[in-house]
A and B are shown apart, each in its own frame.
Chain A
C-alpha cells in the first residue's frame, strides 16, 4: 500500500532498529506537544478509517453495533456506517466465523470480532481449516482477506474459561498471520495493516490495555499511517540482556527494565508485534549483541511463544549466548479466580526482574554504573 509509512529509523540496518518507543520519548521530552490516545480509541479510529477507505470492509460480531462494542471498541461505527456494514450477530461463533470466511472467499473484507478469543475455540475450525489453509489448498484461487480480532489473554478475575492466551496456538499455523499490539500506535498501525492485508489474520488485543493511554505523534494520527507486518520493535535499547514480550507483557518488561537499570543492568526490550511471522532476525540480532535472553509471555509455557524464541536462538545464535535463556510465562495451571492465586498465575514485574538477573548471573544488586 502506498500509505505504508516506514518507521523513522531505517528498517534495513542489521539491528533492524525500529522507531524508539515511548520510554525514550518521555526521556527526550518530545516537544511538539504529543497527543495521548487510549488503545481503544486507536483501534476505533483504525476501524473507522479503513471502513471509510474501502467499502468492502465490514465488521461483524456480538454486540459490535447497537451496544457500541462489548468493550466499546466499535463505538459510533454503526451510526456512521449503518447496519449493512456493522453487523450484530447471534451468539453463534462457528456460524458467523464461517459466514465471515465465506464472504472473504467472495472478495469482501470482513472483520470478525470475538468477544474474547476464548470463544474463538468454537470457531477454530473455520479459522484454521476454512481460512488459513484455503489459499494453499486451492493453489491461490481462493484467498481469504479476513481479520479475526478481539481481546486475548487474562483480564482481571474472569477465571479459567475466560483467561487463556491463544498466541501460541494460532501462531503455529501456516497460512495465518498473528499479531499482538501493545501501544496505541501499534494498535492503530497494525490494525490498519491487517485490514488491508489479503491474508487471514488473527489480531490479539488485550482487554486491560484498552483504557491505557499512550502518546501518539501526528504521524500516527494520519490516516495513511500503517505499520509493517512481521517486524518486531525495539521498545527500549539496551546492551546487557534481551527481553522479548508481546501485548500487556511489554509494559511489564519495560517496568522491569527500569528497575533493572537502577541495579546496573541495561536491558533491551523487544515488542514482538508479530507472533507469526516471528521476527527472528531482530530477536537474534539483539541477542547476538546482548548475549542473554529472557522471554516473557502471559500464555501457558509449554509449546509457547517463548519456547519458539528460545529454539530460534539456540539454532541461530547458540555461540553468542553467555547464559541459558530464561522463560517467564503464565503458570501451568487453569487460571484461578482468587486474587492472590491469579496474581501467582500471571507474570509480574518482579518475576521478570528476577529471571533477568539470573540470566545476567547477578543474584545481588549492584550499584548503578555511571
Chain B
C-alpha cells in the first residue's frame, strides 16, 4: 500500500512502493540501501556558483545511521553537561547539541582520508571521525584513557588516523592550519580534501582571509565551513559582522548557504564542495574576469544553532530569549527531522527509535562509568611528549631542585 500520509517536512517518493506495511516483511533497515529521494528543507543559496539540487538521494541505512549518530552525539553532550556540573569536567566545555547535523552530514560526504579540522566545539566531530565515547569522557575528565591521554582536555581532541586534526583553542587559527592540510594533500598528490570548520565569530578573523587568499591562489583542495550558530559567545552576528552573509565573504570564492539543521542538505553541500575542490584540469582561454571565478576553494555556511550557551560557564539566555531556543528546538531540531523522515517512510516504528535512544543512554552511562574508573595520568606524564626527539634536555618542575628530569 502506498503511504497514506505525507511527511510534513518533505515530499518523498519511494521507488518501490511497499505492499504490506508490517515489520516482519520490511527489509532490516540497518542494511537496506534502497534509494530514497528527499528534498531539503530549503533550497541552497549560491554565491558565484550554481547551487546543487535540493533533491537528495539517500537510503534507509543512511537515514538510520544519521539518526543513531546524532542521537549518540546528543546524549554525549547532555551527559557532559551533567558531568561538568558535578565538577568532574574542569575548565572549558563547549557543547555541540543542536549542531549535530553538520557533523553527520559532513561525514556522509567524506572518507577518513579527507581531513577535518575545527575549533574547540569538537566533541561530536571527534565522534564522527571514529572517536569512542570512552576516549571522549576520559579526556574530558582528564584521565589517561582519554584520546589525548588526559593532557589536552575538551578543546584538544585529535584522531589523526581518522583524519581529524583537532581541536583548537585559538579562535580562527584552525583555518590556516586546515589550508595547510589541504596544501599537504595537494603536495602529496592525495586525491582528498580538507574541511576547515569555524564559527560566525571566527569568520571575522584576518588570518582566515590570509589563508583563503593563499588557498585560492594555489588551488588548494580546501573547503571552509562556517558553522553559523548566530552567536559568537554572547555577541549576536549582527553586532559583530557588517556583512553576516558569511557564504559571500569569500568574494571570488564560490559559496553556498546551507540549512545546517538538515543533515541531508549538509551532506549534499559537502559532496558538492568536495567534487568542486577535486576538479582537475587547467582551464584554458579564460578572460581576466573568469580567472577570478575559477577557484577550487569553496566556502560553505551552515545555518545552525546551539542549544547550550557558548560554554558551560555561559547560561546562553542572557543574549537570546528562551523562546528563541525552544522555537528552534521545536521547528528545526536535526534529530527530530530525521525521526520524522524515518517514520514517514515507515523505516522504523517510534518504539524502535526510542529503544535505540534508550540503548544509547545505557552506552553513554557505561562509558562514563568506565571513564571514571580510568586513572589520572602518571606524574611522569608531565614531562612526556614535549618533543618527539628529546635531546638530552633537562626539564624542570616547579621547584627546580626537587623535580627535574632528563629527557632521553
Residue ranges of A at the interface with B (Cβ–Cβ < 8 Å): 58, 84, 87, 89-90, 92, 94-108, 125-126, 129-130, 134-143, 145, 174-175, 177, 197-199, 228-230, 277, 280, 315
Q: Which of B91-99, B149-157, B312-320, B330-338 contacts A (4 or more CB under 8 A)?
A: B149-157
Q: Which of B178-186, B236-244, B268-276 contacts A (4 or more CB under 8 A)?
A: B178-186
User: What are 9 contact pairs spanning A and B, CB under 8 A?
Assistant: A90-B217, A99-B179, A103-B180, A103-B187, A104-B180, A105-B177, A108-B187, A135-B385, A140-B388
Q: Are B184 and A141 in touch, CB under 8 angstroms?
A: no
Q: Are B385 and A126 in touch, CB under 8 angstroms?
A: no
> Shortest beta-carbon distance, B403 to chain A, in Å?
14
Residue B387 at the chain A interface, CB threshold 8 Å: yes
Residue of B nearest to A99 (CB): B180
> Shortest beta-carbon distance, A198 to chain B, in Å?
4
Q: Are B389 and A102 in touch, CB under 8 angstroms?
A: no
> Shortest beta-carbon distance, A101 to chain B, in Å?
6
Residue ranges of B at the interface with A (Cβ–Cβ < 8 Å): 115, 117, 148-152, 156, 158-160, 165-170, 173, 175-185, 187-188, 206-207, 209-211, 213-214, 217-218, 384-389, 391-395, 400-401
CA distance A139 to B387 in the complex (A): 10
Output the residue of A100, A129, A134, A143 with the most chain B CB within 10 A. A134
Instruction: Provide the residues of chain A in CB contact with B210, threshold 8 Å.
Output: 90, 92, 94-96, 98
Q: Are B214 and A315 in touch, CB under 8 angstroms?
A: no
With A95-B176, A106-B165, A139-B384 known, 7 other A-B pairs at CB within 8 A are A90-B214, A92-B210, A130-B173, A136-B385, A137-B152, A140-B384, A277-B393
Output the residue of B149, B179, B182, B391 with the most chain A CB within 10 A. B391
Residue among A97, A142, A145, A230 making CB contact with B158, cutoff 8 Å: A142
CA distance A96 to B211 in the complex (A): 7
Q: Are A98 and B149 in touch, CB under 8 angstroms?
A: no
Instruction: Provide the residues of chain A in CB contact with B176, threshold 8 Å.
Output: 94-99, 101-102, 126
Q: Are A135 and B388 in touch, CB under 8 angstroms?
A: yes
Instruction: Provide the residues of chain B in CB contact with A100, threshold 8 Å.
Output: 180
Q: Are B181 and A105 in touch, CB under 8 angstroms?
A: yes
CA distance A135 to B209 in the complex (A): 27
> Shortest beta-carbon distance, B251 to chain A, in Å?
15
Instruction: Provide the residues of chain B in CB contact with A145, threshold 8 Å.
Output: 388
| In the complex with contacts A99-B211, A126-B176, A199-B387, A139-B148 CB distance below 8 A | yes
Instruction: Provide the residues of chain A in CB contact with B151, threshold 8 Å.
Output: 136-137, 139
Residue of A nearest to B159 (CB): A141
Residue of B nearest to A174 (CB): B386
Instruction: Provide the residues of chain B in CB contact with A137, threshold 8 Å.
Output: 148, 151-152, 156, 167
Q: Are A129 and B177 in touch, CB under 8 angstroms?
A: no
Instruction: Provide the residues of chain B in CB contact with A101, threshold 8 Å.
Output: 176-177, 180
CA distance A230 to B169 in the complex (A): 31
> Shortest beta-carbon distance, B189 to chain A, in Å?
10
Instruction: Provide the residues of chain B in CB contact with A277, threshold 8 Å.
Output: 391-394
Q: Are A129 and B214 in touch, CB under 8 angstroms?
A: no
State the 5 A-B residue pairs at the shortest beta-carbon distance, nearest first. Answer: A102-B180, A98-B176, A95-B210, A106-B184, A92-B210
Instruction: Provide the residues of chain A in CB contact with B392, threshold 8 Å.
Output: 230, 277
Residue of A nearest to B208 (CB): A95
> Shortest beta-carbon distance, A308 to chain B, in Å?
12
Instruction: Provide the residues of chain A in CB contact with B387, threshold 8 Å.
Output: 135, 175, 177, 199
Q: Are A92 and B173 in touch, CB under 8 angstroms?
A: no
Q: Are A102 and B181 in touch, CB under 8 angstroms?
A: yes
Instruction: Provide the residues of chain B in CB contact with A136, threshold 8 Å.
Output: 151, 385-386
Instruction: Provide the residues of chain A in CB contact with B180, threshold 8 Å.
Output: 98-106
Q: Are B187 and A94 in touch, CB under 8 angstroms?
A: no
CA distance A126 to B151 in the complex (A): 19
| In the complex with contacts A101-B177, A102-B183, A137-B156, A95-B214 CB distance below 8 A | yes
CA distance A44 to B205 in the complex (A): 36
| In the complex with contacts A105-B165, A135-B388, A141-B148 CB distance below 8 A | yes
Instruction: Provide the residues of chain B in CB contact with A108, threshold 8 Å.
Output: 183-184, 187-188
Instruction: Provide the residues of chain A in CB contact with B181, threshold 8 Å.
Output: 102-103, 105-106
> Shortest beta-carbon distance, B147 to chain A, in Å?
8
> Shortest beta-carbon distance, A82 to chain B, in Å?
12
Q: Are B169 and A129 in touch, CB under 8 angstroms?
A: yes
Instruction: Provide the residues of chain A in CB contact with B188, threshold 8 Å.
Output: 106-108
| In the complex with contacts A99-B183, A105-B181, A136-B151, A92-B169 CB distance below 8 A | no
Instruction: Provide the residues of chain A in CB contact with B385, threshold 8 Å.
Output: 135-136, 138-140
| In the complex with contacts A101-B177, A102-B176, A197-B389, A138-B211 CB distance below 8 A | no
CA distance A100 to B183 in the complex (A): 9
Instruction: Provide the residues of chain A in CB contact with B209, threshold 8 Å.
Output: 95
CA distance A84 to B173 in the complex (A): 24
